[in-house]
């Protein structure tokens, strides 16, 4: 049996070290549990960095991929494929804007497509600028990175793609001031994820829609992290009843299989004509079958109401801890998107959790982020929360 140490040795020799990795090699997952090469069992409150929203190896996704892989692995987009058409229909029916889809493989790629589509729409009017927000995160390709309003991610990579301006998240007045004759779009995560699980203040998303309508701009919602049911609705913007012109999805859409999607209002999607954009692997049969099986799972297992139920349970628990310690500054919860903001950097809490075999994440220095599966069972909720409670309430930063 190969050990974690042996695999780490391979990485040190042959894999570029651009990630900070925990010294553990994970080998098998099932639902909200995962095991390492030594057979240790972990509870996963951060499965797949948000990609495994319906748990590790969800049975319907496993079955669909197994079946598809024996029939047809890949064909390019010069041909029609049933699974891509069916997934586009399934997604469109769950939007409130009859969206039409472009398929790719990741969140950054979906946002790259959104930036290009916005520029294509603005081309005739000589508009290309996009307003995005401080503390946003849109991905690591150069376009998506330029949209990302966090200088720490820009370091060493200048010059960035021109045409981006950043407003403070939640500040309509400052956003309005950045609009000029060359602006074509406003791009925003309805709830900022990597930036610290920041909920939009009341009226903010509605106000952005209004600004876009008044100035003839496109509203782009990056739902890469918030989408596919995580917040208790298919798409987070549905909580506020504000429609985007373009929406991007990835992470959870394929039940763990790489799948990125841009969904646009039909008359906007029309601007993406042959030759303007493409992705060789985009919408391949395996990813699309995984996407269909993910939607089927969320519906058949009633996971949207389950996410709302878990929201209430997590909120109750977190508020209880907050009342018993002064290290928690704020708690922010929407569905199974959870941020606990501390008065100090919280990376050491992640380490302590790992030692107790609970997987969590720290983002934006001081925010402990949990993105548990929507089908997290009650028993694992309790077991994981008991570990967190003990660690947090005993923490003296």
Binding site for ligand PLP (CB under 6 A): 106-108, 111, 137-139, 189, 193-194, 222, 224-225, 250
- Find the shortest distance in angstroms from Cβ 138 to ligand PLP: 5
Give the pair of three-digit tokens for residue 258: 């790489």
Residue nearer to ligand PLP on the CB measure, 36 or 194: 194
Give the dihedral of Cα atoms 232, 105, 258, 148; nearest 10 deg.
-60
Please report, in angstroms and rounded to a whole number, the separation of the first and last CA atoms in the chain: 40
How far is 82 from 254, CA to CA, in rounded Å?
16
Measured from the CB of residue 112, what is the shortest distance to ligand PLP in angstroms?
9
Helix H or strand E encompassing 166: strand 164-167
Nearest distance in Å: CB 149, ligand PLP: 12
Instruction: Kindly state the smallest distance separating residue 278's Cβ from ligand PLP, in Å.
Output: 17
> Is 200 or 385 the residue whose CB approaches ligand PLP more closely?
200
3-state SS assignment for residue 31: strand
* Listed residue (283, 368, 356) closest to 79, CA to CA: 283
- 292 exposure class (CB count in 10 Å sphere: 0-12, 13-18, 19+): buried
Instruction: In angstroms, give the least distance from the CB of 206 to ligand PLP.
Output: 20
CB-nearer residue toward ligand PLP: 111 or 294: 111
Residue whose CB is less far from ligand PLP, 108 or 318: 108
How many CB atoms within 10 Å of residue 13?
7
DSSP result, 329-371:
EEEEEETTEEEEEESS--HHHHHHHHHTTEE-EEETTTEEEE-
Is 381 part of the annotated catalytic residue set?
Answer: no
**Alpha-carbon distance 238 to 122, whole Å?**
27
* Residue 334, beta-bridge partner list: 337
8 A C-beta contact, residue 268 and residue 99 = no
Our CB check for ligand PLP shows the closer of 139 and 149 to be: 139
CA 254 – CA 19 distance, rounded (Å): 23
**Residue of 204, 222, 245, 271 marked active site:** 222
Other beta carbons within 10 angstroms of residue 381's beta carbon come to 18
Q: Name which of 33 and 278 has its Cβ closer to ligand PLP.
A: 278
Question: By three-state DSSP, how is residue 12 classified?
Answer: helix
**Closest distance of CB 22 from ligand PLP, Å:** 18
| Catalytic pick among 251, 265, 271, 334 | 251
What whole-number distance in Å separates Cα of residue 248 and Cα of residue 227?
A: 9
Residue 107 or 384 having the CB closest to ligand PLP? 107
Question: Which among 102, 137, 164, 204 is annotated as catalytic?
Answer: 137
Report the nearest approach of ligand PLP to the CB of residue 258 (Å): 8
The nearest distance, CB 111 to ligand PLP, in angstroms, is 6
Q: Which is nearer to ligand PLP, 137 or 342 (CB)?
A: 137
- State yes or no: is 137 an active-site residue: yes
Residue with the closest Cβ to ligand PLP?
107
Contacts of residue 52, defined as CB under 8 A and 6 or more positions apart, other chains included, come to 29, 44, 58, 252, 255, 256, 373
133 is catalytic: no
Nearest to 46 by CA among 391, 394, 363: 363
Which residues form the catalytic set? 137, 222, 251
């Amino acid at each position: 049996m190969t050990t974690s140490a042996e695999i780490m040795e391979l990485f040190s020799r042959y894999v570029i070290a651009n990630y900070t990795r925990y010294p553990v090699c994970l080998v098998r997952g099932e639902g909200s549990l995962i095991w390492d090469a030594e057979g240790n069992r972990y509870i996963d409150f951060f499965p797949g960095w948000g990609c495994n929203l319906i748990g590790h190896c969800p049975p319907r996704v496993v079955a669909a991929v197994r079946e598809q892989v024996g029939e047809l692995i890949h064909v390019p987009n010069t041909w029609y494929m049933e699974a891509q058409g069916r997934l586009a229909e399934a997604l469109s029916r769950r939007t409130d804007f009859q969206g039409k889809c472009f398929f790719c493989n990741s969140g950054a790629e979906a946002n790259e497509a959104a930036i290009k589509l916005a520029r294509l729409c603005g081309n005739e009017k000589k508009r290309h600028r996009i307003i995005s927000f401080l503390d946003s995160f849109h991905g690591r390709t150069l376009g998506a990175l330029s949209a990302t309003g966090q200088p720490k991610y820009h370091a060493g990579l200048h010059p960035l793609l021109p045409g981006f301006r950043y407003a403070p998240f939640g500040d309509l007045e400052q956003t309005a001031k950045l609009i000029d004759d060359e602006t074509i779009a406003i791009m925003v995560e309805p709830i900022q994820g990597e930036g610290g699980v920041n909920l939009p203040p009341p009226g903010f998303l509605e106000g952005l829609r209004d600004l876009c309508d008044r100035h003839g701009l496109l509203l782009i919602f990056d739902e890469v992290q918030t989408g596919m049911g995580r917040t208790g609705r298919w798409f987070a913007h549905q909580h506020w009843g504000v429609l985007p012109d373009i929406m991007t999805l990835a992470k959870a859409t394929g039940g763990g299989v790489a799948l990125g999607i841009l969904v646009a209002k039909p008359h906007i999607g029309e601007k993406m004509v042959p030759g303007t954009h493409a992705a060789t692997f985009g919408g391949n049969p395996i990813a699309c079958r995984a996407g269909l099986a993910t939607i089927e799972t969320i519906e058949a297992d009633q996971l949207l109401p389950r996410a709302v139920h878990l929201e209430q349970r997590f909120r109750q628990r977190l508020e209880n801890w907050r009342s018993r310690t002064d290290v928690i500054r704020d708690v922010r919860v929407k569905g199974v998107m959870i941020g606990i903001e501390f008065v100090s950097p919280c990376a050491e809490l992640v380490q302590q959790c790992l030692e107790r075999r609970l997987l969590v994440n720290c983002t934006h220095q001081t925010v402990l982020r949990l993105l548990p599966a929507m089908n997290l069972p009650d028993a694992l909720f309790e077991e994981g929360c008991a570990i967190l409670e003990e660690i947090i309430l005993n923490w003296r930063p």
